[in-house]
Amino acid sequence: MGPRAFLIVCFVILSAAVLGAVAAGVLLIERIVPEAYGNLSEMVIVYGGGLAFLLIAFVSVLWAYLDFAIAQPLAALVGGIQTVIYANPDYRIEIDDSHRLGSLPQAVTDLVTQLGLARSRVDEAITDATSRVEVQKRQLETIIQDLHEGVIVCNLNHEVLLYNRRALELLHIGGQLGLARSLFTFTNRQPILHALGRLTNRIIGTHREVHPEGLSAPFVCATTDGRHTLEGRMSLMLDAEESPNGYVISFADNTEKLASLGLRDRLLRESTEGLRGSVGNLRAASEILSNHPDMPANEQAPFKQVVMNEADHLSNRLEQLATQYRDVITGHWPTSDIYSSNLFNNLLRRLRDEKNIQAVMTGIPQWLHGDSYTLVELLDRLIHNVSRHLGVTTFDLEATGGERHIYLDVVWAGEPISAAALDSWLTEQLEETYGRLSLREVLEHHKTDVWSLPYDSGRARLRLPLPPATQTATRRDTMRRSSRPEFYDFDLILQRVDSGDLGDRPLKSLTYVVFDTETTGLQPSAGDEIISIAGVRIVNSRILTGESFERLVDPKRVIPYDSVKFHGITDDMVKDKPPIQVVLPQFRDYVGEAVMVAHNAAFDLKFLKLKEIECGLTFDMPILDTLLLSVFIHDHTTKHSLDAAAARFGIEIRGRHTALGDSLVTAGVFLRMLDVLEARGVRTLNEAIEASNKIVEVRAQQAKF
């Protein structure tokens, strides 16, 4: 009952009581003084009725006042509080100032305000906590998804709560594992229950603090079909009250590992017990021959034949066992795809502190497969041995692609290393490697060998063949689009044949900077800008990969989506990068006095020329265009894109449609062109410019038709 209803009931009862009192007075007079009832009753009715009317009127006025001054404000307070609690937290209670509730409305208003603030703070805290939990959840999901081991989280009912992609691969499940499904749908039951029981006993026994494995335990189980053996660890999860509420298992497929252990046991057994019979026969025959030197030749023949047969059998069997053993020890070595420039950079950092050894990375980087750490250790030791053996202090490091292998070459000026010297080096141990491996064991783990041979006039090399990478496609390779169209500004690309002192020098003796740009679009005169520029230096017909130039540029405009699809560079990637006014002078300093080379050079050169005045510099050095040279060399075809030229010259394409990647491919194409140009009578820079100009003039004539 509300306050207003309560007051109404009270005053109705009071009014009824007044009327009842008057009626009771009339009845009382009638019984006590019957003879005077007539006159007295009239008086009682008149005066009592009047008094009752006055009392009822007073009660009504009092009720109206209390209703207006107290009951209605209280009802308004109640309604306002309910509105704040259930409907609108920002609602402000409004009460007429004529109330007689004193400071209660203000106190309620202050209380509601504080409640709103508290609720806002709680909401903010919840939102912030939820956001942090979401971030942590995403981080955890990312970490779990990228783990090499399979991970599955289960509750105590063995229902799957979380898993990663690797778990699907190891369990050989297509699609999804299925949340809330039983783990025992995919694995056998008892090993999991046994490991969980061990961990639960540690909780009950309260000795987990001193247990060396804490709340984790190893297990070995199998998939339900029995085809794969899984080995891993189980870790118990505890709630706030230190009671177990689930577990995490991480595991790997050790089927092949266990099989290889079995094979190693068999090989060991065969290398001892399996060869005992042949060794016994060989020993018996040799003892007979040794103890009876005067035995006639016809009687010695069978024993000699036994010696020969058993020796051949032992030799062949030992070779088979050695091959099988080599397959075993190399089958589980931790190898991965490696980019040769990363491998060589690690090696160069090692050699940087050597005062008497200098190494330069050359050539086009290649993807290969191996163990980066042991390969760096191997190459480092071989380089030091070559330096001590021949007194050589300068080396080139180059990766070369072949049909079946990627070749790592260490090149120096001098003679090759003899096979005997190289073979003696392979017995040396690498102190820092796993198990102090020898150089030969590192080669065996990679199923390869190393040899020394002449490289070119006056130079030699060590060559190490390795398998190519298992996964070579990069994100930008998969985003490859068609090449940009040929671009001609005939005034830009048509050059003077007289190039000063450089003009008469042989092409192979010059220093070049092969460069490329990525842009927001294909119209430099219409506002498109450079967003990436890169270059690589060629010295003495060597691509100096370690001296490359690569910068991202803030174009101060939005990069169109169609361009992003082409080169993969987004607005976020260039957001905090320096503008072209900073980058272009740096690139000009990098070029120096070198001859510039580009594919479809007029396109890139147009962007550079438009920025010359703004940046206060000039690009006035000779420029060779591999597109024009390709047309000159292979005039039988119309396919002269960078991809087509690279395919013709056998240059493997990596990082296509990145400025540095295209620069490296162009550099490889250009170096292969030099011998062909020389065969066509183009030997000097002036002759190369003249040949290019002829192609430009032909294209200019074609453009008129």
Comparing C-alpha atoms, which of 140, 142, 234, 141 is closest to residue 187?
Answer: 234
Annotated catalytic, 292? no
Looking up tokens 């989280």, which residue turns up? 153
Interatomic CA distance for residues 641 and 483, integer angstroms: 7
Phi, psi of 600 (to 5 degrees): 60, 50
Residue type present at position 487: F
Burial of 309 (0-12, 13-18, 19+ CB in 10 A): middle
Comparing C-alpha atoms, which of 596, 602, 603 is closest to residue 666?
Answer: 596
Give 499's DSSP letter: -
Interatomic CA distance for residues 248 and 153, integer angstroms: 4
Interatomic CA distance for residues 202 and 199, integer angstroms: 5
- Are the beta carbons of 211 and 232 closer than 8 angstroms? no
Give all strands of the β-sheet with 216-222 in edge-to-edge order. Answer: 160-163, 150-155, 244-253, 229-238, 216-222
Interatomic CA distance for residues 19 and 48, integer angstroms: 9
Looking up tokens 């247990």, which residue turns up? 211
- Are the beta carbons of 520 and 529 closer than 8 angstroms? yes
- Are the beta carbons of 668 and 649 closer than 8 angstroms? yes
DSSP 197-214: HHHHHHHHHT-TTTSTTT
Comparing C-alpha atoms, which of 171, 153, 170 is closest to residue 162?
Answer: 153
121 phi-psi bin (left φ>0, alpha ψ -120 to 50, beta other): alpha
E strands along 291-372, which residues? 336-339, 358-362, 367-370
Give 467's DSSP letter: P
Q: For 653-684, where are the alpha helices, taking DSSP H only?
A: 659-679
Interatomic CA distance for residues 644 and 342, integer angstroms: 28
Interatomic CA distance for residues 381 and 429, integer angstroms: 10
Reading the block at residue 410, the tokens are: 């260490």
Three-state secondary structure string covering 151-196: EEEEECCCEEEEECHHHHHHHCCCCCCCCCCEHHHCECCHHHHHHH
- Are the beta carbons of 414 and 394 closer than 8 angstroms? no
Alpha carbons within 13 A on the beta-carbon side of 222: 7
Interatomic CA distance for residues 470 and 338, integer angstroms: 10
Active site residues: 657
